[in-house]
Amino acid sequence: MRRKIYLVAGANTISMGTGRKEFNPKKERPGLENYIHEAGQAVLKQVPNPSAIDETVIGNFMAAVFNKQGHLGGFAATIDPDLEFKPSLSVEGACASGGLAIISGIRSVMAETADVVLALGVEVQNTVKAIYGADFLAYAGWFQNRKKSHAYFFPGQFSDRAGAYYEKYGFDNARKGMGRWFRNAIENARLDPTAQEHHNTATDLEGLYHKMTPNGKNFVDHLNFFDCSKVSDGASGILIASEEGLKKLGVPCKDAVEIVGFAQLTRNITSDPPNPLDLTTIRKTAAKALENAGISIEQLGTIETHDCFSIAGILAVEALGLAAPGEGAAYVAAGKTARDGAMPMNTTGGLIGWGHPTGATGVHQAVTIWQQLTGNAGAAQIKLSPAKPYGLSINMGGDDVTVVAIVYKMCDE
Amino acid sequence: MRRKIYLVAGANTISMGTGRKEFNPKKERPGLENYIHEAGQAVLKQVPNPSAIDETVIGNFMAAVFNKQGHLGGFAATIDPDLEFKPSLSVEGACASGGLAIISGIRSVMAETADVVLALGVEVQNTVKAIYGADFLAYAGWFQNRKKSHAYFFPGQFSDRAGAYYEKYGFDNARKGMGRWFRNAIENARLDPTAQEHHNTATDLEGLYHKMTPNGKNFVDHLNFFDCSKVSDGASGILIASEEGLKKLGVPCKDAVEIVGFAQLTRNITSDPPNPLDLTTIRKTAAKALENAGISIEQLGTIETHDCFSIAGILAVEALGLAAPGEGAAYVAAGKTARDGAMPMNTTGGLIGWGHPTGATGVHQAVTIWQQLTGNAGAAQIKLSPAKPYGLSINMGGDDVTVVAIVYKMCDE
C-alpha cells in the first residue's frame, strides 16, 4: 500500500426479510432511498466532522429491476447536503458490488483524489416474490448460459458443486459440515441485533437441518433451504480514510482498522468453473491479498466469507488453505470455524444468518471485521489474540466470477 | 495530477440504430457481449503489447433491463484471455457511466494499483421499442419524481428547459441556435464512418429542422425529433496509462494524449434543478476541471459536450462561459461551434449525430478528443492551432445530476 488506509465508523441497517419480526410482506416497506439514507446517516453520526467526506461510492447489484431505479450516486446528497456537488458513483459486480465499493474507495484515497470516501452498499429485494427475485439475481450469470441451465440459476450452480462434493468426499461427511455451518450462522446471528435471523429461537439447529433433506421443499437437487442465504433488504456503510483523513474526521486511530492488503480478480463469466470442487477465483484472490499484506493465514484472527450457500462456505475453507481439498467439511463439523474455534468465521452470521442484501454484503463484511477488530461488536464480540491482529473478507459475485479480498489490521496505537 | 496519465488506442464500434443502412429492427443483431468484444479487440489491436493491461472498467447504464444482464466485469476475459484473473468491474452514473469508467481508470493509475487500464463503455438499447426504452432510461431520474412527471421523462425534462429558454430569450432566437446545432451534428457525423448519421444525405438541414415544429410527431411540448439524440447500440474503448504503462504497451507519447485535469460532481437526484436555464452541475464541474488543469477555456482547441438534446448543447455553451446567459443560441447560430468555428464542438457528431449508446457515450467523447489531438480523426479531422493544444469533454448523467469533465492535452514530444 503506497499510502496508509483506514476504515472507520461502520454501520448497518437491519437485514430485513423473512425471519425478522418487523417484516410483513403485505405492508408497504422502506424503499431503496430510505436504506441509503439510514445507513449513510448512521455512519456520519459516528464522526465529529462528517463534512470531511470527499466522495461517495455505492455498491448495488440490481436496483434497476428490483426498484426500477438506476443512478444511485445521485442519492448521496440525500444523506447529507454536504455531499452534494462532490463525486459520487455506483459500482457493480453482482454480489461482490459491496466489496467493489470498498476497493473503489481505497483506490481514490490511494490516488490522493480523496482523503475520506463514504462507501455504501444497498439492495432492496423484497419488492418482488422470491421466485422472480431469483431470476433477477441470475443476471449475475451469462444470459446465453442461463437459457440452458437450472430454473433457479445460482442455487442450481451451487447444487452442482455440492453434488460433486458429495460424490467425491462422501454425502454424510459433507452434510455434517454443512449442517454445522448452518448452526454457526444462526447462533452468530442471534448475537447481532441487525441480523435477519436475530429472532431465530430454534433449538437443535443441526437436528433441524438434517431433518430437511437436500431438495427439501422441492428445491434444487443437492441443497435445502437451510443451505441458502436470505432474501434481504438492507444497507451498510463505512468510511475509508487516509491518515490525514482520520485527522480531518476527528477520529483516533484506535477506532479504526488499517487496510494492509487487497486484491480483486475476475473470471470469465462465459466459461464454466474450471473445477466444481475448487473456488479458483477465491483461492487466487485471497492468496494475492495475503501476499500483498505480507502475512500468512495463521495470522488472521477472523474471516468473513461469502456463504451464499453453505457449500460455498465449505469450499472457501478449502480454497483459503485452512483445510486440504475434501477436508473442509470435517474442519467445519469439528467447530473450527465457530466463534470460539481456531478460525472464527462469519461472526455476525454471514449471508445465511445475518442476511444477504446482495449489493450491500461486501460492505457488511467490512463492517463486521471493523467491529471485531475495534471491539465494537457488542454481544457478537469474539476474543482476539494480540498475536492474530488481522482479519480477512472474501466477497464473491456470481459463481466465483468476481472476487474481492481485503486484509484488515488492528490499529497499532 | 500526482502522476502523468495518458490516453491511447481509442476505438468505437458503429453506433447502430435507425439511420444506419445496416440496421434492420426485425433481424437478430449482435448482443452486448459482441459489442464489448468488438470494441475491446479494436483497442488491443492498436498496441504492440496488450498484455500490459492490468485492469478493466466497463461503463454501462441499463444492461439489466435492455439485456437482462448484469455483472459486465465478467466479460473482460472474453476480449482477451490475458484479461482473466485481473481486476474488472462496471460503473454506473446513468448516461455519464462512460465518463465514470474513464475516471475510475484514472484513479487506479494514480493509485499505482495499475499502470494500464482498459476503459470501455457499452449500451445495447434496440432490444426493445423506443417507447419502452425511454421508460428504462428514465431510471436515471428518481422513481418518486417520475410518477408525477412527463410520459417521456427525460425529453420532458429538457423540453421544460427549452420552454423556459424560449420564454426568457425568445423563441426564434433559440430555435435558430438549436437548428444550427442539429445541422452541425449531422454534417460532422457524415465525416465519421462509425456515426449513426453517417449515411444521412439530406440537404438544407436547417430548413428541414425548421419545417418540423416543436412537438413534432406528437412529441414533447418544446422539442421535436431533430432536437433529440439517437437510440443506439454501441461500444467504445480506450486505454489509460501511466508513463511506465505507455512504455510497457510499446506506444510512443505522440500517439497518446495526456490527461491534465478532471472533475466529477453529483447533484441531488431527488431535487429539481435549481434553475431550468442553468446547467449548474456542468458549470461547476467544467470550472473545477479547468482549474485542476490550470488552464482557461480560451486554450481549448475542441470540446465534446453531452447534447442528449439540442437545448443541452446551447445551455452547455453558456454553462462553460463561452457565451453569456441567453447568448448561447446566437453563439451557435453564428457558427462558432461548427468544425471551422472559433470553438469546434462535437466534431464527430455528438449524441445527436454520432449516436448515444448511453453507457458508452463518455468513452466515445474521450475517443473523439484523442483522435483529434493525435491526428487520428480521418475525414473528421479538424485543424488545431498549436496555441490551443487542449480538449475538454463533458459527460452528463440524468438531468444535470452526474457530470464528468476531463481536460486533455496533446503530447509535448
The per-residue pLDDT for range B220-261, each reduced to its tens digit, is 999 999 999 999 999 999 999 999 999 999 999 999 999 999
- Candidates 2.40.50.140, 1.10.10.10, 3.40.47.10, 2.60.40.10; CATH matching A140-230+260-410: 3.40.47.10
The pLDDT of residue A130: 86
Query: Do residue B61 and residue A70 have CB atoms under 8 angstroms apart?
Result: yes
| Cβ neighbours of residue B372 closer than 8 Å, sequence gap 6 or more | B301, B302, B347, B380, B381, B382, B384, B391
| Rounded-to-integer distance, Cα B225 and Cα B209, Å | 9
Chain A with chain B: Cβ pairs closer than 8 A? 212
Q: What pLDDT, in 10s, does the model give residues B259-311?
A: 999 999 999 999 999 999 999 999 999 999 999 999 999 999 999 999 999 99
Query: Do residue B402 and residue A73 have CB atoms under 8 angstroms apart?
Result: yes
Helix axes B97-110, B361-374, angle to 10 degrees: 70
| Rounded-to-integer distance, Cα A139 and Cα A60, Å | 13
Is the CB of residue A132 less than 8 Å from the CB of residue A98? no
DSSP E strands, A150-220: none
Q: How confident is the model at residue B368 (pLDDT cuts 50, 70, 90)?
A: very high
Rounded (5°) CA angle B106-B3-A411: 85
Query: Do residue A84 and residue B143 have CB atoms under 8 angstroms apart?
Result: no
Q: Which residues in chain B touch residue A87, judged by CB atoms under 8 angstroms apart?
A: 264-266
Query: Do residue B85 and residue A142 have CB atoms under 8 angstroms apart?
Result: no
| Rounded-to-integer distance, Cα B337 and Cα B401, Å | 24
The pLDDT of residue A264: 98
Is residue B217 pLDDT above 80, yes or no?
no
Residue B391 CB-density burial (10 A; 0-12 exposed, 13-18 middle, 19+ buried): buried
| Structure-model confidence comparison of residues B132 and B189, the more confident one | B189
Is residue B70 pLDDT above 70, yes or no?
yes
| Cβ neighbours of residue B311 closer than 8 Å, sequence gap 6 or more | B158, B161, B162, B165, B174, B178, B222, B223, B227
pLDDT (mean) for B303-328: 98
Nearest Cα neighbor of B16 from B191, B196, B198, B197 is B196
ipTM of the complex: 0.97
Q: Compare CB distances from B71 to A69, A89, A93 and report the shortest one's residue.
A: A93
| Structure-model confidence comparison of residues B176 and A149, the more confident one | B176
Is the CB of residue B6 less than 8 Å from the CB of residue B246? yes
Element spanning A302, H or E: strand A300-304
- Residue A320 backbone dihedrals phi, psi, to 5 degrees: -80, -15
- Mean per-residue pLDDT pooled into runs of 10, chain A (413 residues): 95 97 92 98 98 98 98 98 98 98 98 98 95 91 86 92 98 98 98 98 97 85 95 98 98 97 98 96 98 98 98 98 98 98 98 98 98 98 96 98 98 78
- Residue A21 backbone dihedrals phi, psi, to 5 degrees: -60, -35
Q: Which residues in chain B touch residue A92, judged by CB atoms under 8 angstroms apart?
A: 70-73, 89-92
| Domain A5-129+231-257, classified CATH 3.40.47.10, yes or no | yes
Element spanning B12, H or E: strand B5-12
Query: Do residue B402 and residue A143 have CB atoms under 8 angstroms apart?
Result: no
CA-based radius of gyration for chain B = 20
- Round to the nearest angstrom and report the end-to-end CA distance of chain A: 19
The pLDDT of residue A219: 81
Q: Which amino acid is at B164?
A: A
Copy the grid coordinates of residue A144.
446465453
| Cβ neighbours of residue A26 closer than 8 Å, sequence gap 6 or more | none
Residue ranges of chain A that CATH labels 3.40.47.10: 5-129+231-257, 140-230+260-410
Q: How confident is the model at residue B83 (pLDDT cuts 50, 70, 90)?
A: very high
Interface-testing mutation among B85, B89, B149, with chain A (most A C-beta atoms within 10 A): B89
pLDDT (mean) for B137-153: 88
Judge if pTM exceeds 0.95.
yes
Is the CB of residue A36 less than 8 Å from the CB of residue A120? yes
* Cα dihedral B283, B262, B124, B118 in deg (nearest 10): 180
The pLDDT of residue A159: 96
Is the CB of residue A6 less than 8 Å from the CB of residue A253? yes
| Rounded-to-integer distance, Cα B135 and Cα B131, Å | 7
Q: What separation in angstroms does the CA of A28 have from each of A21, A24, A40, A127, B114?
A: 15, 8, 22, 9, 46
The pLDDT of residue A85: 98
The pLDDT of residue B189: 98
CA distance B360 to chain A (A): 15
What share of chain B has pLDDT > 70, as a percent? 100
Q: What pLDDT, in 10s, does the model give residues B185-208?
A: 999 999 999 999 999 999 999 999
Q: How confident is the model at residue B149 (pLDDT cuts 50, 70, 90)?
A: confident
